[in-house]
């Protein structure tokens, strides 16, 4: 972020309501040289300050036309005026330290990023922001063939607060532990009751988006900020039983429509990584899908990490057998079957059967149906799907 740093002497007071400016915005804290010290700060209604990193100030208040920062002891540590950014009209807050009021120690800049999804006004606006999220934007499959968007025509965005917990509980969404700030549950008002427990662990700006027929069961743990989870509709009369851990920041999960999940565990580690799963997933029990190994593996000669987190893409109509594991960086083509207790470590083509540790293709030109004894029409539909999926997969490989 490039910002011209101003001195306190030439920081004019703007004719604005300081409290209105401060609240409901994300801020970047800059050092005097313009470097980012804290990627965001958020001012709580109760006078607290949330942010990624420790700051000297632990509370804030408005005194007259000034924003005042206080230490835990109650001592005033900084005062600030507010100016307008000439570049885009967003606000800057110039902090003046009490011990040296002639020098601006830090500047708060209103963050231009779009990851506060609570500001979305329409479904189209919401999906634009989701696709632009760092977890998805570099290889986004959302809203492409085989990766259907949830049904969200009657959009309701619920900010997670003590006041909204009862409303969420009535929907079957139980938010447990410290709530954090600006976390949100996005639903269609026609949503069927589900059974989902969510722990935000006092982290912030995380979003869970649920189709009105998601029929989700399980537990989500957010161990970072600005993560997003999108859960599509379940298959008819089926459940989606999932456990998801979002470790660190800016990670994403997308699960398409028509899925059935006996038990799948997602471990998604940011920043900028995701698991994207297409429509009509059939997952058995004990399945693990993880973008990271949780612990570092170091090349001792070069002193480099050799097992960095990597995103995963699973195409539409994929069957994951019992206790299958999908490892970081894997890509599974549509229509493929992964055998029980297999470990997928690399890309698998469309419409094949793969098994083993590591998983290898044991049969080409094969796919599956939910019925054990499909009729001729169902087989013909599968053949048409498989032909298109194989062509799409081959075309994608040629473009790589």
Taking only the tens place, the pLDDT of each residue in 154-188 is 999 999 999 999 999 999 999 999 988 789 999 99
Q: What is the CA radius of gyration of the chain?
A: 24
Q: Are residues 94 and 127 in the same domain?
A: no
Kindly report the CATH number assigned to the domain that includes residue 311.
Answer: 2.160.10.10
Question: Final residue of a domain: which of 65, 80, 110?
Answer: 110
Return the pLDDT at 276.
98
Task: Give the total residue count for the chain.
Answer: 400
19 domain-assigned: yes
d(CA 215, CA 223): 24
d(CA 182, CA 205): 5
162 domain-assigned: yes
d(CA 306, CA 284): 31
- Helix or strand holding residue 344 (H, E): strand 343-344
1 domain-assigned: no
Q: Are residues 232 and 155 in the same domain?
A: yes
Q: Over 80: is that where the pLDDT of 76 sits? A: yes
d(CA 91, CA 81): 11
Q: Are residues 104 and 123 in the same domain?
A: no
Q: What is the DSSP letter of 161?
A: -
Q: Give me the mean pLDDT over the 346-365 stretch.
A: 96
Q: Over 60: is that where the pLDDT of 6 sits? A: no
CB 233 within 8 A of CB 169: no
Using H for helix, E for strand and C for coil, what is the string for 376-398? HHHHHHHHHHHHHHHHHHHHHHH
pLDDT-derived band at 19 (thresholds 50, 70, 90) equals: confident
Question: Final residue of a domain: which of 55, 80, 110?
Answer: 110
Q: What are phi and psi of 231, to 5 degrees?
A: -120, 115
Domain that holds residue 269: 117-399
Long-range contacts of 62-71 (CB under 8 A, 24+ apart): 62/18, 62/19, 62/22, 65/13, 65/18, 66/18, 67/18, 67/22, 67/93, 69/95
Q: Are residues 105 and 196 in the same domain?
A: no
Close Cβ partners of 46 (under 8 Å, ≥ 6 residues apart): none
pLDDT-derived band at 144 (thresholds 50, 70, 90) equals: very high
CB 127 within 8 A of CB 296: no
201-215 per-position pLDDT tens digit: 988 889 999 999 999
Sign of torsion over alpha carbons 42, 43, 46, 49: positive
Q: Are residues 105 and 130 in the same domain?
A: no
CB 52 within 8 A of CB 38: yes
**β-bridge mates for residue 229, sequence order:** 208, 253
245-274 per-position pLDDT tens digit: 999 889 999 999 999 999 999 999 988 999
Kindly report the CATH number assigned to the domain that includes residue 28.
Answer: 2.40.128
Nearest to 266 by CA among 282, 278, 277, 279: 277
Q: Over 60: is that where the pLDDT of 14 sits? A: no
Q: Are residues 137 and 48 in the same domain?
A: no
What is the number of domains present in the chain? 2
Residue 233 CB coordination number (10 Å): 24
Between 325 and 393, the more confident residue is: 325
- What is the token pair recorded at 41? 């700060």
Q: Are residues 132 and 74 in the same domain?
A: no
Q: What pTM, to 2 d.p., does this model score?
A: 0.79
Q: Are residues 209 and 89 in the same domain?
A: no
27 domain-assigned: yes
Nearest to 199 by CA among 157, 249, 246, 265: 246
2 domain-assigned: no
Q: What is the DSSP letter of 45?
A: T
What is the DSSP annotation of 145-184?
TT-PPP--SSEEEEE--TTTHHHHHHTTEEEES---SS-E
Question: Final residue of a domain: which of 110, 136, 154?
Answer: 110
SS3 content of the chain, % helix, strand, coil (to 5): 15, 35, 50
Nearest to 250 by CA among 275, 273, 266: 273
Query: Mean pLDDT lowest for which of 116-125, 140-149, 323-332?
Result: 116-125
- Helix or strand holding residue 104 (H, E): strand 104-110
Q: Are residues 66 and 186 in the same domain?
A: no
299 domain-assigned: yes
Close Cβ partners of 79 (under 8 Å, ≥ 6 residues apart): 63, 66, 67, 68, 69, 95, 96, 98, 101
Return the pLDDT at 74.
81
Q: Are residues 256 and 395 in the same domain?
A: yes
53 domain-assigned: yes
d(CA 8, CA 82): 10
Query: Mean pLDDT lowest for which of 64-73, 297-306, 365-374?
Result: 64-73
Q: Over 80: is that where the pLDDT of 146 sits? A: yes
Return the pLDDT at 96.
67
- What is the token pair recorded at 361? 């293709």
d(CA 341, CA 370): 20
Query: Mean pLDDT lowest for which of 43-47, 122-126, 240-244, 334-338?
Result: 43-47
Return the pLDDT at 116.
66
26 domain-assigned: yes
Q: Are residues 239 and 298 in the same domain?
A: yes
Q: Average pLDDT over the chain, rounded to whole?
A: 85
Measured between alpha carbons, how far is residue 66 from residues 27, 29, 31, 83, 324 in Å?
Answer: 17, 18, 20, 12, 58
Nearest to 167 by CA among 189, 183, 152, 182: 189
Q: Are residues 338 and 200 in the same domain?
A: yes
pLDDT-derived band at 27 (thresholds 50, 70, 90) equals: confident
């Amino acid at each position: 972020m490039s910002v011209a740093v101003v001195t306190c002497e030439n920081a004019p007071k703007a004719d604005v309501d300081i409290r209105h400016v401060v609240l409901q915005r994300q801020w970047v804290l800059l050092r005097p040289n313009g470097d980012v010290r804290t990627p965001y700060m958020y001012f709580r209604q109760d006078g607290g300050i949330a942010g990624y990193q420790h700051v000297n100030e632990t509370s804030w208040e408005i005194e007259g036309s000034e924003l005042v920062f206080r230490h835990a002891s109650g001592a005033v540590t900084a005062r600030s005026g507010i100016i307008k950014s000439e570049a885009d009209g967003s606000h800057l807050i110039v902090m003046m330290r009490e011990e040296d009021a002639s020098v601006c120690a830090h500047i708060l800049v209103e963050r231009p990023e779009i990851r506060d999804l609570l500001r979305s006004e329409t479904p189209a606006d919401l999906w634009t922001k989701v696709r632009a999220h760092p977890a998805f934007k570099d290889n986004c499959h959302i809203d492409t063939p085989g990766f259907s968007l949830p049904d969200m025509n009657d959009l309701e965005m619920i900010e997670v607060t003590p006041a909204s917990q009862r409303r969420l509980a009535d929907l079957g969404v139980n938010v447990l532990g410290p709530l954090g700030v600006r976390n949100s549950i996005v639903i269609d008002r026609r949503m069927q009751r589900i059974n989902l427990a969510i722990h935000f662990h006092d982290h912030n700006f995380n979003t869970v988006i649920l189709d009105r027929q998601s029929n989700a069961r399980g537990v989500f743990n957010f161990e970072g900020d600005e993560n997003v989870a999108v859960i599509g509709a379940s298959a008819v009369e089926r459940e989606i039983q999932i456990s998801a851990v979002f470790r660190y920041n800016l990670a994403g999960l997308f699960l398409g429509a028509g899925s059935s999940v006996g038990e799948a565990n997602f471990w998604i580690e940011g920043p900028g990584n995701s698991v994207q799963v297409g429509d009509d997933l059939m997952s058995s029990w004990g399945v693990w899908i993880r973008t990271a190994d949780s612990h570092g593996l170091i090349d001792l000669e070069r002193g480099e990490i050799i097992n960095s987190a990597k995103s995963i893409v699973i195409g539409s109509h994929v069957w994951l057998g019992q206790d299958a594991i999908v490892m970081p960086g894997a890509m599974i083509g549509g229509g493929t079957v992964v055998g029980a207790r297999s470990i997928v470590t690399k890309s698998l083509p469309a419409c094949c059967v793969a098994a083993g540790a590591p998983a290898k293709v044991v049969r080409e030109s094969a796919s599956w149906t939910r019925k054990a004894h499909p009729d001729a029409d169902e087989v013909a539909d599968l053949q048409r799907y498989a032909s298109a999926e194989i062509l799409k997969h081959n075309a994608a490989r040629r473009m790589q």
